[in-house]
């Protein structure tokens, strides 16, 4: 190879590598970054300039004096997330990828005592995609550190396929002292074979025999030394009875583990086994226990099933690994090579999904929420700490629903709260599950209530209880223990929120069951006159007939009454609206990025409405499309209403294969592209813009929009039929003016000759049409029990009600009261 030095500074050297016998040339940059952060920022800026000056394959390697995540550091203080984030964003802007490594994890050590011991991975090799394509098998090796505080780093462009990890075979003199060694040699030596074959067979057998018989001599030696040292220490210092008992207890634990290993065939891994001590345990006691049992001490319990375990000394930095995982995913994606739609898809499906597992059980710190939102925000807009870009839309608008003009990306804090609300919902609806009963006994003990020392799971449940209460309501049972005023047993919330002023002591403690008399509401214990609107609400709440059931907690807005995380997120986030986001000159001037807000084609202020509709260029386009120049409905409505009304107008266009909404959206998109070409490429408006839009709309309609099949209609004559001889028929119906709204229901019973037997009519109250149908059926079945009708046929025109009755009641807890009464009345 020929090496030509191009330039150098105190922190970098740039050179061109010319490969002999080929036309390959690539750029290599050697790095020694300053230990001072300000000077390292100068290096990042220099590398950014170099990246913009060439398109060669590029290799960057050396000592960067900066880590990329918390996994690159062991010991010392928690990392500052800002500096690794800046470093990662710089690498992304250079389009550099980490080549990975083989060997020891860390490349630098501070060579200090145990308590101040720090290791880091700060020596790295990065390359762009073209260099990686040129050398796909290149590998980085961290070699053994000798005298320096850094590991040597070897970059091999074409590593050999040989296995260098096999240690050479060495004969151990201690084998001669073992009585079974002679038999081992006899069993693995055959005089009829060559010396090389016998030597290979003996070597393989001796390796296995050494591990089984002698094992790890160093571990055994250290354990024996620790026991001897502990015994000497005890004899010297006259141990008390506590130390003697501790020694016996530890020895018993050790014997149990050894017996378990012998019976199960398993073996305890000493390298993975640690002992955790509470802070009040003295160092002498810790050393004694570790020496006796042979395990190392640890200050961190680590993770269980991916969740960091809470312990004394736990901090919010326990969750830094979530940020590291998200950033490691983004490191392989180059936002400048992806479209906005592609970045949104990746954000929704990957970066937002990574923390979801931890969010199910834990409320993450606000710092982690903000960091996750910032990473997603910068990735969507292609912004970094080095090269910032305009965020055209606020984050609260980006995270709103697509139906409301957003991108459907979920904000970290609200998503976390919606997931822990599901945990709270499961806890409240638990039916004897072990985990829920454990939490109830531990934290809901009335005799000894806890005031501190809560687990992360319980904290997540308590913080989500308000949202869980807001999104659910109770279905009352016969002997309901719900508070009449403060529990949410109506769909309008707790009744206490609907009134003002104080209540009497009797009214404060009023229970729902105190107002239920013989299946009817009795409000005589309330001292004031109940408004008519309240009476409609109470009248519409059904009471159980005969079945004695408990109170059931149901989730609002769902017929099945089951928890819905999407609805919970909506409650946590709130409503959003349409917003202005295109970077027209008026908006850019408002942000202080330009002084001239005038349109390129005229002297008027360039806002969104002007670009898409009011400019003479846009008016010419819409006139060619068939819009009259003086159409007041098209040209006078406000921007938001104009965009929304046209974007949902699916009316057909004569002699065209596409609808107006498709044409309109492609039209405003091409008007925007034409505006950008005029401003940045100084090109004139194209006269063929209409043809281009019609072509795109036709292509989209053929490829994306599904074909609309015309369904054939068949007229079916419907009429009432007589029931079979000896049978009766019950016909019911119910309806409501609104959802919910004032409702009523009725029905009648006829015999097998069509003669009227009984009938009923009810003003139900304020419910939905489905609930009105359910009310009517229950009243009809109740009417059938009085003359003791045995053979009954029920007929109605609501298929949804039939599905509810035939399904299991657990599937539709919202209407479980009606279904229970139906089945009891039919029996």
CA dist list (Å): 173 to 176, 177, 181, 185, 209: 6, 8, 11, 14, 14
Q: How confident is the model at residue 503 (pLDDT cuts 50, 70, 90)?
A: confident
Burial per residue of 385-408, b for 16 or more beta-carbon CB atoms within 10 angstroms, e otherwise:
bbeeeeebbeeebbbbbeeebbbe
144 and 65 in one domain? yes
With a cut of 90, say whether residue 61 has pLDDT above it.
yes
Please check whether residue 306 is in contact with residue 359, taking contact to mean a CB–CB distance below 8 angstroms.
no
List Cβ neighbours of 156 (8 Å cut-off, separation of 6 or more). Answer: 138, 139, 140, 141
Strands 119-120 and 108-109: antiparallel
Q: What pLDDT, on the 0 to 100 scale, is given for residue 145? A: 83
384 CA to centre of own chain = 23
482 and 500 in one domain? yes
Poorest-pLDDT segment among 95-109, 118-132, 285-299, 542-556: 542-556
| Helix, strand, or coil (residue 741) | strand
Looking at 471, 505, 520, which one is the last position of a domain?
471
757 and 659 in one domain? no
Is residue 204 situated within a structural domain?
no
Poorest-pLDDT segment among 135-139, 327-331, 629-633, 775-779: 629-633
Q: Which whole number is the average pLDDT over 214-240?
A: 67
- Which DSSP category does 612 fall into? I
CA distance 473 to 480: 13
Domain of 778, CATH number, reads 3.30.420.10
Looking at 452, 471, 490, which one is the last position of a domain?
471
Which among 110, 111, 107, 12 has a CA at the least distance from the CA of 67?
A: 107
120 and 41 in one domain? yes
φ/ψ of 167, rounded to 5, equals: -80, 150
With a cut of 60, say whether residue 525 has pLDDT above it.
yes
Which among 42, 43, 164, 184 has a CA at the least distance from the CA of 102?
A: 164
Q: Which whole number is the average pLDDT over 59-69?
A: 92
Please check whether residue 627 is in contact with residue 657, taking contact to mean a CB–CB distance below 8 angstroms.
no
Is residue 207 situated within a structural domain?
no
Q: How confident is the model at residue 180 (pLDDT cuts 50, 70, 90)?
A: confident
Which among 732, 729, 821 has a CA at the least distance from the CA of 780?
A: 732
Q: Which whole number is the average pLDDT over 643-661?
A: 81
330 and 261 in one domain? no
Is residue 205 situated within a structural domain?
no
List Cβ neighbours of 817 (8 Å cut-off, separation of 6 or more). Answer: 475, 476, 542, 544, 549
Please check whether residue 544 is in contact with residue 516, taking contact to mean a CB–CB distance below 8 angstroms.
no
Q: Which H, E and C letters describe 544-555, residue by residue? A: CCCCCCCCEEEE
Is residue 213 situated within a structural domain?
no
- Which DSSP category does 810 fall into? G
3-state helix vs strand vs coil in the chain, percent to 5: 45, 15, 40
Q: How confident is the model at residue 334 (pLDDT cuts 50, 70, 90)?
A: low
Q: How many CB atoms lie within 10 A of CB 653?
A: 15
pLDDT one-digit tens code per residue, 591-615: 776 777 888 888 788 888 888 888 8
106 and 36 in one domain? yes
CA dist list (Å): 159 to 28, 139, 164, 772: 19, 7, 11, 77
| Helix, strand, or coil (residue 63) | strand
Residue 251's domain comprises 218-299
Q: What pLDDT, on the 0 to 100 scale, is given for residue 112? A: 81
φ/ψ of 626, rounded to 5, equals: 110, 5
Is residue 53 situated within a structural domain?
yes
> Between 298 and 571, whose confidence is greater?
298
342 and 464 in one domain? yes
Please check whether residue 89 is in contact with residue 384, taking contact to mean a CB–CB distance below 8 angstroms.
yes
Q: Which H, E and C letters describe 744-757, residue by residue? A: EEEEEEECCCCCEE
pLDDT one-digit tens code per residue, 621-645: 888 888 766 666 677 777 877 887 8
- For the whole model, what pTM was predicted? 0.52
423 and 329 in one domain? yes
List Cβ neighbours of 725 (8 Å cut-off, separation of 6 or more). Answer: 752
CA distance 22 to 24: 5
- Strand partners of residue 760: 747
CA 646, 647, 649: angle at the middle one, nearest 5? Answer: 60
Domain of 75, CATH number, reads 3.60.10.10
Which among 763, 767, 22, 81 has a CA at the least distance from the CA of 385?
A: 81
Write the DSSP assignment of 356-382 as a string of letters.
Answer: HHHHTT----HHHHHHHHHHHHHHHHT
| 47: Cα within 13 Å, side-chain hemisphere | 33
Poorest-pLDDT segment among 314-323, 554-563, 705-714, 804-813: 705-714
Share of the chain above pLDDT 70, in %: 84
Is residue 197 situated within a structural domain?
no
CA distance 69 to 267: 34
CA distance 746 to 298: 73
780 and 822 in one domain? yes
List Cβ neighbours of 313 (8 Å cut-off, separation of 6 or more). Answer: 279, 299
Q: Which whole number is the average pLDDT over 331-356?
A: 76
When divided into structural domains, the chain yields a total of 6
480 and 467 in one domain? no
CA distance 574 to 465: 18
433 and 326 in one domain? yes
Give the H/E segment covering residue 8: strand 2-8
Is residue 621 situated within a structural domain?
yes
CA distance 307 to 79: 20
Is residue 714 situated within a structural domain?
no
Which among 137, 123, 88, 136 has a CA at the least distance from the CA of 333?
A: 88
Q: How many CB atoms lie within 10 A of CB 255?
A: 10
Poorest-pLDDT segment among 22-26, 35-39, 339-343, 809-813: 809-813
CA distance 424 to 165: 52
- Which DSSP category does 529 fall into? P
CA distance 23 to 516: 93
490 and 346 in one domain? no
Using CA of residue 349, residue 350, residue 353, residue 357, what is the dihedral sign?
positive
With a cut of 50, say whether residue 578 has pLDDT above it.
no
579 CA to centre of own chain = 26
pLDDT one-digit tens code per residue, 70-99: 888 888 888 877 888 888 888 888 888 889
Please check whether residue 351 is in contact with residue 330, taking contact to mean a CB–CB distance below 8 angstroms.
yes
CA distance 346 to 644: 27
Looking at 454, 471, 488, which one is the last position of a domain?
471
Q: In 440-498, where do the E strands start and end?
A: 472-475
């Amino acid at each position: 190879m020929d090496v030509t030095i191009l330039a150098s500074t105190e922190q970098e050297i740039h050179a061109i590598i010319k490969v002999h016998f080929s036309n390959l040339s690539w750029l290599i940059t050697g790095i020694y970054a300053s230990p001072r952060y300000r000077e390292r920022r100068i290096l990042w800026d220099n590398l950014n300039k170099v990246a913009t000056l060439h398109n060669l394959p590029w290799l960057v390697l050396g000592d960067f004096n900066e880590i990329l995540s918390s996994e690159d550091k062991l010991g010392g203080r928690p990392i500052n997330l800002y500096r690794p984030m800046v470093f990662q964003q710089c690498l992304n802007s250079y389009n550099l990828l980490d080549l990975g490594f083989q060997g020891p994890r860390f490349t630098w050590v501070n060579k200090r005592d145990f308590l101040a011991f720090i290791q880091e991975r700060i020596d790295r090799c990065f390359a762009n995609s073209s260099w990686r394509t040129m050398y796909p098998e290149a590998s980085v090796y961290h070699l053994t550190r000798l005298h320096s505080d850094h590991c040597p780093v070897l970059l091999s462009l074409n590593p050999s396929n040989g296995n260098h990890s096999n240690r050479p075979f060495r004969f151990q003199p201690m084998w001669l002292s073992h009585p079974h060694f002679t038999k081992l040699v006899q069993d693995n030596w055959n005089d009829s074979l060559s010396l090389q074959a016998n030597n290979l067979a003996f070597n393989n057998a001796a390796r296995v025999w050494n591990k089984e018989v002698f094992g790890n001599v160093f571990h055994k030696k250290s354990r024996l030394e620790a026991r001897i040292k502990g015994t000497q220490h005890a004899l010297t210092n006259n141990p008390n009875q506590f130390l003697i008992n501790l020694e016996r207890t530890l020895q018993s634990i050790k014997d149990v583990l050894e017996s378990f290993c012998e019976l199960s065939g398993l073996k305890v891994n000493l390298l993975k086994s640690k002992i955790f001590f509470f802070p009040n345990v003295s160092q002498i006691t810790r050393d004694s226990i570790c020496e006796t049992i042979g395990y190392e001490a640890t200050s961190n319990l680590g993770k269980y099933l991916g969740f960091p375990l809470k312990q004394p000394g736990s901090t919010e930095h326990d969750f830094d690994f979530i940020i590291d995982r998200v950033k490691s995913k983004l490191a392989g994606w180059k936002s400048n090579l992806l479209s906005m739609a592609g970045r949104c898809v990746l954000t929704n499906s990957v970066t937002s999904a990574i923390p979801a597992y931890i969010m199910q059980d834990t409320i993450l710190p606000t710092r982690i929420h903000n960091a996750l939102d910032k990473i997603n925000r910068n990735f969507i807009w292609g912004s970094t700490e080095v090269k910032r870009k305009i965020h055209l839309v606020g984050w609260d608008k980006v995270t709103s629903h697509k139906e409301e003009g957003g991108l459907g990306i979920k904000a970290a804090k609200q998503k976390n709260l919606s997931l822990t609300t599901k945990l709270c919902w499961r806890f409240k609806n638990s039916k004897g599950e072990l985990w829920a009963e454990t939490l109830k006994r531990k934290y809901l003990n009335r005799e000894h209530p806890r005031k501190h020392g809560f687990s992360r799971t319980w904290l997540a449940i308590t913080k989500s209880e308000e949202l869980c209460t807001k999104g659910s309501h109770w279905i009352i049972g016969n002997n309901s223990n719900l508070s009449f005023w403060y529990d949410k047993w109506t769909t309008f919330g707790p009744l206490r929120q609907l009134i003002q002023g104080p209540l009497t002591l009797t009214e404060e403690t009023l229970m729902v069951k105190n107002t239920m008399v013989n299946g009817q509401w009795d409000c005589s214990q309330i001292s004031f006159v109940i408004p008519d609107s309240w009476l409609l609400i109470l009248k519409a709440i059904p009471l159980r007939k005969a079945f004695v059931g408990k109170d059931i907690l149901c989730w609002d807005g769902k017929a099945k009454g089951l928890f819905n995380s999407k609805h919970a997120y909506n409650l946590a986030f709130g409503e959003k609206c349409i917003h202005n986001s295109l970077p027209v000159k008026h908006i850019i001037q408002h942000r202080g990025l330009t002084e001239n807000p005038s349109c390129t084609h005229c002297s008027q202020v360039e806002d969104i409405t002007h670009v898409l509709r009011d400019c003479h260029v846009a008016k010419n386009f819409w006139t060619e499309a068939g819009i009259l120049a003086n159409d007041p409905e098209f040209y006078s409505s406000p921007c938001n209403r104009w965009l929304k009304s046209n974007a949902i107008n699916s009316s057909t266009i004569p002699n065209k294969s596409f609808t107006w909404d498709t044409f309109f959206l492609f039209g405003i998109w091409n008007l925007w592209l034409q505006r950008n070409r005029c401003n940045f490429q100084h090109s004139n408006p194209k006269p063929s813009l209409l043809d281009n839009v019609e072509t795109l709309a036709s292509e989209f309609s053929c490829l994306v929009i599904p074909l609309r099949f015309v369904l054939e209609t068949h007229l079916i004559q419907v009429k009432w039929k007589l029931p079979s001889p000896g049978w009766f028929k019950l016909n019911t119906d119910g309806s409501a003016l609104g959802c919910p709204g004032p409702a009523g229901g009725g029905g009648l019973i006829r015999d097998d000759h069509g003669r009227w037997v009984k009938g009923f009519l009810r003003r139900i109250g304020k419910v939905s049409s489905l609930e009105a149908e359910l009310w009517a059926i229950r009243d009809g079945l109740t009417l059938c029990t009085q003359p003791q009708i045995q053979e009954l046929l029920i007929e109605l025109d609501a298929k949804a009600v039939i599905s509810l009755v035939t399904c299991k009641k657990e599937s539709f807890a919202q209407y479980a009261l009606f279904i229970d009464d139906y089945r009891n009345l039919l029996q």
